[in-house]
Structure 1
Amino acid sequence: MKRVAGNGGAALDRTGLGLGHGRVLCEWLIDFLTSIQRAGCVAVNHRGGVGRLALVSLAVSILAGCSGEYSILDPAGPAARDQFWVWWAMFAVSMVVSVVIFALWIFTFLKKSHPQRTPREERRIALRWILGGGVALPLVSIIALLTFGVPTGKRMLPLPLPDGETAEVIEVIGHQWWWEIRYPGAEGETVVTANHLVMPAGEPVDFHLTSNDVIHAFWIPRLGGKIDMVPARDNYIRLEADYPGIFSGQCAEFCGAQHTTMQLFVEAMERDEYEAWLAARQSPPQQQERHDEAREAFVEHCAGCHRVAGLPHDIQASGPVYRGIEGPDLSDIGSRATLGAGRLAMEEGAIAYWLEHHQLLKPGNRMPAHNHIDTETLQSIGSWLETLTP
């Protein structure tokens, strides 16, 4: 089901190639330092071995953030690339300040003699430090940060595009602890899915963001962001993927016990492939007669909170369900990469396993335990749901 990311072709410029070389260098340094770390473990009992091992371990930990699916140092879109350079600018300034401070600190301790100064001279020196270090340096730092940061932030605003072009609009709603994604369909229809965000590659996409319960934060590290999702308020951000591929998103605002398992699977497609996917999602999934009993069981036990295209939704479900609680749309659940917003990989039998053990896999989620439903019924519902693909 996953698609292999393309090489981006013309979408990648020299800057993008430079970033790729930088990532390769970081990965090489990680491998090199890891080998030193292993060697240091052998020499830990020797004099100085512990100190060297600690320094190498620290370097490995720092460089480990240079790559990976959640790394901001491996950008795959214009917004993320802008943020990448802002990060390096801030890092460079902080390093310069740190070096100066440590150099002065070491100089002070190593200096043999301290000249005697009059109170007037002391005040004059103190004033210089206050004006230089407390006013001028912060002012220069703020100006430099604004010089980089303001254009970066502006490019992520959903401003009008040149030549009358329009950006694709995708609405994302945060729930505890899953993502609802809504797409504009033909003739005013809306396609709804959950935890699997599909977007066109190589063009800007405007995300309209809000929350259904508490404050969440929308963040796809390799594409850019993050931005808060606040109940009863709409926030907006414009992102773009350089090339088709798979990316990872994560809620970046603590939102409860299962905050860390509120992950987002992001798939960028070519425009024609995206339109074909959207058209397929506008048609209800094909229903097979051999799953009639499973569908009836779903309608009886699950349809009060979950929706499947083509089935009745606004009904009174039996059993101890939580009325008024909206669950994820399951119309295309069989095509998703994970269950429970990244908690469980999608494979044969995974949905039935989730239905039986969801409170163990993701404690505190709002779906009630299914103690009143026998195992055979849960397995039949799971098998039927696995067939629901666009």
Structure 2
Amino acid sequence: MVEVCQAKPFDYVRFVFSICLLIFSIVVTSYAIFRGKTGFWEEVPGPAAFALFVVDLAILGIVEGLQIALVELKRQHPDSYKFSHPRAYQLGQVASKKDNVERFLMGRQVFVVFLVFFIAKLTTIDLGDDLNDFLFPVPAWLYYSLLETGFITCILVVIVAQLMPQIVASKYPVHFLNFWLMKPAYWACIAVEFTGITHACWILSYFMGLVSGMESEDLLFQKSRKSFVMSELDPKQGGMSESPQKLIVTTKTHIPSPEHALQEVETILNEAAIEEDNRHIEHHSEKQFEAENMEKFSHLVEALDKGVDPDVRKILQFYLNNHPEKFRTFPSVIGNKVYPPPQALAEELQTSGSEVPGFLRDISDPEHVPPHIVACELLVHIVQLQKEIQQLKANQASGYTPRQSPI
């Protein structure tokens, strides 16, 4: 990507060339449409044809940018723009459900191809035999190579209605998707797909995958899960030595899905929370209340660490590595230890009536504190405590006792 502020001399040369070409394309195409020098229907007056041309460019720009914005939005945490750009958040949530993205892409492609062909009919310059009856006397080579072929209009369409919206949507996906026209454009694409015009592609893509030997994501995930268990049981990789029969049974019957793994973790957390709550029904003081909450969290982590099967840990770690956006609601596996998700800990605090610390709050919450800041503060305090401990040990070794200030 070329940053305008960091452009090099050669980039400026290309900027000037491209801008001159674009201006020439706009002038020539607009003049041809207004004068009726195109292959469009003669019954349509020039101003009306030009208005159609502008509308087509606008719609094409919207559907081109919308695709890029939805793809780029997957790289951002939805909670980071949930309240600042609500329309973008709502549309992103709808598009991420089931197969809505695929359906949108099919409807969008119909729009793109139709609009490009319609623009081609509307703008292809046709001067007949009189090449001098135009904005300027047109040489034959220029007419047959750039004007009649539609190449000069192609430059205008590509730059203004395709590349420019795509670049803007790539750099500012949330702002682009928050524009009010994006929602009706999205549902228009879904409506086109709903008619079934493009449904033949499902059959063709199925046979294409079948013939070429491609594997679905679910099948690849199943193989990845099996490879985890295989590595656990392979003596060459430091695992246990098992018979081939037992290995086959294990890989077929003891490999949980991510949904099953998450359900197992939630069950362990709920049982551990109930057990710990039964031990602390009455709270005598606020300090004791906070201490019991810390003890409860310690109990939850310990129960989760002991109760989660090793195969489940592998699946949790594999799934979270491939779906980082699930961090807040999915358990984390660090080494051989399993930790509850931030959302579960925050809900436990809210249930018990305690204040939720900033590092457990939602990223869209104004009081959210990034966890690395908390970790840095803890490190500073640890270093300070270590210095104080060393000073106390030195004082004790020298027999020095610090004076206590009178109360």
Larger radius of gyration: 2
TM-score norm. by structure 1 comes to 0.22
The structure in which a higher percent of residues are helix is: 2
TM-score norm. by structure 2 comes to 0.21
The structure in which a higher percent of residues are strand is: 1
